Amino acid sequence: MAGVDLCEPVQLYNILNQATKFSRLAERNYLCLIDARTQREYDESHLITAIRIKRDVSGSYVVPPWVNFECLRHCVVYDGITNLLDMTSQMDATAQEVDEEKNTPARTALCCARVLQRYTRFPVQVLRGGYERFTASYHFLRTQKIFWMPRELEDFLPYPVEIVPGKLYMGNSIQACHQQIQKDLKIQAHINVSEEVDTFFPNDSEKVFHIAVPDSPEADVLSFFGEICHFIDSHMHNGAVLVFSTLGISRCSTVVLAYLIHSCRLYLKNAWSYLQKCKSNIRPNRGFVEQLSEWETRIYMATVTDISEPAY
């Protein structure tokens, strides 16, 4: 059996907002989000793309036959508000069958996940705090919509990924100019690492740090790293900061990695691993990777990360 893991709200937020050319929610085997609450609660509102799992007359969960759980990359289950006090005992994949008499509303996600783990290749993830905790931070990702057509999922506009919860986000130029996204995430400042001019804060230069550099190995971003870190730290006290570039893959990820190395005290290899979990398709060009290595050397007085490894 694949087992059961905890999924933090920020992890699910980032899973929901992964994108390549289109939102990854349009990929058939990317994510199955399972709502284990009552039918009434589900009908009132649920998380986008979530399907409600049903039970048969004996009370056992009915595994949706149209979902290929074996091929799923992410299977996330949530209830109203998961009882974390019971999590330790519930995480043992070899434990005995669920006692239905103890299947209380605060534990339905755990019980459901234990059933689904028999069919998955990767661990089933249980959302910590359930629907209530998630929507307290991400109310804009709830809906009453039940059926999603493939074209609707392709057209879904992902939000910027969250790097430091509630404080630092990373995205692309479309997201940076989208008014509702700025409002939902409480964005108060931008770092624009693209040649295009940011237009969301046109009359307030104190809220915008614009580095007009091309996505080229010869472009210099290293000389801006210190100012960038200071800008982010100084604006975090007033709200969230969005770092963006044209596509949100190379230049903005370079800047965020520099911040994680400096202000979060991570080596480049650890910062890279952390950021890749937030956004799976980061790809700084080779020149930027070399500048990040130099930045790491300046901060820690030693080169810790071997950037000749294939991961970089």
270 and 182 co-located in one domain? yes
Q: Which of 155, 177, 207 is the last residue of a domain?
A: 155
Tokens at residue 15, please? 């899973």
60 and 190 co-located in one domain? no
Answer yes or no: is 50 within a domain.
yes
57 and 147 co-located in one domain? yes
Give the pLDDT confidence score for residue 243 in this predicted structure. Answer: 97
Q: Which of 155, 187, 206 is the last residue of a domain?
A: 155
pLDDT (tens digit, 9 = 90+) per residue, 155-179?
999 999 999 999 999 999 999 999 9
Give the pLDDT confidence score for residue 108 in this predicted structure. Answer: 87
| Ranges of the chain whose pLDDT falls below 70 | 83-106, 202-203
Answer yes or no: is 118 within a domain.
yes
Among the listed residues 215, 67, 239, 77, the one whose alpha carbon sits nearest the alpha carbon of residue 166: 239
Answer yes or no: is 308 within a domain.
no
Q: Which of 101, 129, 155 is the last residue of a domain?
A: 155
Answer yes or no: is 311 within a domain.
no
Question: What pTM does this model have?
Answer: 0.92
Answer yes or no: is 309 within a domain.
no
Domain range for 98: 4-155
179 and 130 co-located in one domain? no
Are 249 and 218 in contact, with CB atoms under 8 Å apart? no
Give the pLDDT confidence score for residue 100 in this predicted structure. Answer: 40
Give the pLDDT confidence score for residue 237 in this predicted structure. Answer: 87
Among the listed residues 75, 99, 105, 92, the one whose alpha carbon sits nearest the alpha carbon of residue 7: 75
191 and 225 co-located in one domain? yes
Answer yes or no: is 310 within a domain.
no
| Distance between first and last Cα of the chain | 33
148 and 246 co-located in one domain? no
pLDDT (tens digit, 9 = 90+) per residue, 129-152?
999 999 999 999 999 999 999 899
Answer yes or no: is 306 within a domain.
no
140 and 188 co-located in one domain? no
11 and 150 co-located in one domain? yes
255 and 175 co-located in one domain? yes
Answer yes or no: is 307 within a domain.
no
Give the pLDDT confidence score for residue 206 in this predicted structure. Answer: 87
Domain of 256: which CATH number? 3.90.190.10
The whole-angstrom separation of Cα 116 and Cα 157 is 29
77 and 36 co-located in one domain? yes
Scanning the structure block, which residue is given the tokens 């919860």? 165
Give the pLDDT confidence score for residue 81 in this predicted structure. Answer: 86
The whole-angstrom separation of Cα 285 and Cα 47 is 35
Are 226 and 297 in contact, with CB atoms under 8 Å apart? no
Q: How many domains does the chain have?
A: 2
109 and 9 co-located in one domain? yes
81 and 195 co-located in one domain? no
Domain of 142: which CATH number? 3.40.250.10
DSSP state of 100: G
